[in-house]
Amino acid sequence: MLTQNFIIPGSRLTQQHAAIQTELDQAVAGVIRRAVFTPGPEVEAFEAEFAAYMGVKYAVGVSSGSAAVLLALKALNLQPGDEVISTPQVDISASAPVTQADARLVWVDIHPRTYNLDPDPLAAAITPRTRAVIAVHMYGNPAAMQPVLEIATRHNLPVIEDAALAVGATYRGRPVGSWGTLGCFSFSPGKILGAFGKAGIVVTNDAALAQQVRMWSSYGFDLASLKAIERGEIGAQFEYEAEGFNARLDELQAAVLRVKLRYLDEWVRRRRENAGLYREMLADLEPTHLFLPQDTPETEPAFRVFVIRSPRRDGLMRYLAGAGIWSGLNYVPPLHLQPAYGYLGYRPGDFPQTEQVARELLCLPTIPELSRQEVEKVGETIREYFLRS
């Protein structure tokens, strides 16, 4: 069943859009009027506005979150045999780009309460062939960037933050995505900040890396030559630096994202409120019936969803569905147990924390469009399941 078909759904974009309909209509109409669809004024403005929001120097709009991760890796100039360390408890779009960039995935176990890269196994997995680390901020919850960066810096390794699920989250008061060498975001429609199709962005404070991301996303064009062609200069030539990708952000998506960016903080505030209510309502069920996500003063999650863990997860999921409430198994089973990654040779038991989390986790809806009564209804139904059944 589609998530929006539940009485309490995982997504209610029609409601989100109705609230800002006039602004969206104007933004889309402006793009149609100008009839510039490849990167133009909207993309340029969105890049500047997003960079300011993140507190970074450069932002390069790209065609998706998957493209963002791939382009960040390409910008680092990885070579065949180079190793990139990440975790298996992620969406395949956070891992496939590593292989697509000719590098080799090396996974480490996750922290059981943050669902993110655990600094201890990370330190142990570094070899002379390690070339980069990807820290994914799972479910909108910030990874422990300080220890991760300390370890990476000691080994002179760049860190890519995959913040596809975490736009608006902060770690020690600073936005996630702005801590590492490069930060990657997805703006697919169901994300916290969603476009009307595929969209993403890469942020960095490094001018050369930003140029590389732009070059790789623009077919591999020499950027000066591309600009000359776009300006319609007589005699402008098609010069290529690399065999790149067609992976730029388009004007329509940028125009929509510019409107939505103005509401992002408010939407994230409401997600945090919903998560806070779950925490309040479910606190006394811990640890007998379930575990709540880690709550530390150094992180302000964006709560793409609210993740709980319970050995009775499957029954709870059915009970919630029976009451018309959406809940999700994002991202189960973990990647090391998927046929797509059989070639890496990992086995059941290799990542005990990841595997236990995958058996127990359940994602609850946090969308800003939920009313307080609806969030309470979810909380009450969970209490009912554990205390009365």
Per-residue HEC secondary structure of 249-272 comes to CCHHHHHHHHHHHCCHHHHHHHHH
Q: How far is the CB of 286 from ligand PLP (least distance, A)?
A: 26
Is 162 a binding residue for ligand PLP by CB under 6 A? The answer is yes
Q: How far is the CB of 231 from ligand PLP (least distance, A)?
A: 30
Alpha-carbon distance of 70 to 65, in angstroms, equals 9
Closest CB to ligand PLP among residues 209, 247: 247
Q: How far is the CB of 166 from ligand PLP (least distance, A)?
A: 8
Q: How far is the CB of 327 from ligand PLP (least distance, A)?
A: 17
Closest CB to ligand PLP among residues 98, 285: 98
Alpha-carbon distance of 201 to 11, in angstroms, equals 22
State the DSSP code for 89.
S
Q: Is the dihedral of CA 363, 365, 367, 373 positive or negative?
A: negative
Alpha-carbon distance of 129 to 126, in angstroms, equals 8
Q: Which of residues 92-121 bind ligand PLP (CB under 6 A)?
A: 93-94
* Cα–Cα nearest to 328, from 139, 150, 184, 202: 139
Is 255 a binding residue for ligand PLP by CB under 6 A? The answer is no
Q: Which residue, judged by CB position, is nearest to ligand PLP in the bound state?
A: 65
State the DSSP code for 174.
E
Is 225 a binding residue for ligand PLP by CB under 6 A? The answer is no
Q: How far is the CB of 90 from ligand PLP (least distance, A)?
A: 5
Tokens, residue 58: 């450069």
Q: Are residues 72 and 184 in contact, defined by beta-carbon separation less than 8 angstroms?
A: yes
Q: Which of residues 10-69 bind ligand PLP (CB under 6 A)?
A: 64-66, 69
Select the span of 98-106, 118-126, 157-165, 223-231 touching ligand PLP (CB under 6 A): 157-165
Considering only residues 82, 83, 91, 360, which one is a binding residue for ligand PLP as defined by CB under 6 A?
91
Q: How far is the CB of 236 from ligand PLP (least distance, A)?
A: 32
Considering only residues 144, 164, 210, 367, which one is a binding residue for ligand PLP as defined by CB under 6 A?
164
Binders of ligand PLP: how many residues, by CB under 6 A? 16
Closest CB to ligand PLP among residues 139, 319: 139
Is 353 a binding residue for ligand PLP by CB under 6 A? The answer is no
Question: How does DSSP assign 290-323, residue by residue?
Answer: -BPPP--TTEE---SSEEEE-TTHHHHHHHHHHT
Alpha-carbon distance of 218 to 246, in angstroms, equals 6
CA distances from 184 to 89, 187, 319 (A): 17, 10, 36
Is 186 a binding residue for ligand PLP by CB under 6 A? The answer is yes
Closest CB to ligand PLP among residues 105, 316: 105
Is 30 buried (19+), middle (13-18) or exposed (0-12) by CB count in 10 A?
middle
Taking the C-alpha atoms of 85, 91, 93 and 95 in order, what is their torsion angle to the nearest 10 degrees?
20
The CA angle 246-249-250, to the nearest 5 degrees, is 100
State the DSSP code for 53.
H
Closest CB to ligand PLP among residues 59, 90: 90
Alpha-carbon distance of 98 to 327, in angstroms, equals 30
Is 188 a binding residue for ligand PLP by CB under 6 A? The answer is yes
Q: How far is the CB of 313 from ligand PLP (least distance, A)?
A: 20
CA of residue 329 relative to chain centroid, distance: 16
Q: How far is the CB of 95 from ligand PLP (least distance, A)?
A: 9
Strands (E), 67-156: 83-86, 104-107, 130-136
Is 217 a binding residue for ligand PLP by CB under 6 A? The answer is no
Closest CB to ligand PLP among residues 41, 333: 333
Considering only residues 60, 76, 117, 136, which one is a binding residue for ligand PLP as defined by CB under 6 A?
136
Residue whose entry in the numeric block shows the structure tokens 């933004």: 27
Closest CB to ligand PLP among residues 42, 162: 162
Q: Are residues 357 and 112 in contact, defined by beta-carbon separation less than 8 angstroms?
A: yes
Interface residues toward ligand PLP, by CB under 6 A: 64-66, 69, 90-91, 93-94, 136, 162, 164-165, 186, 188, 198, 200
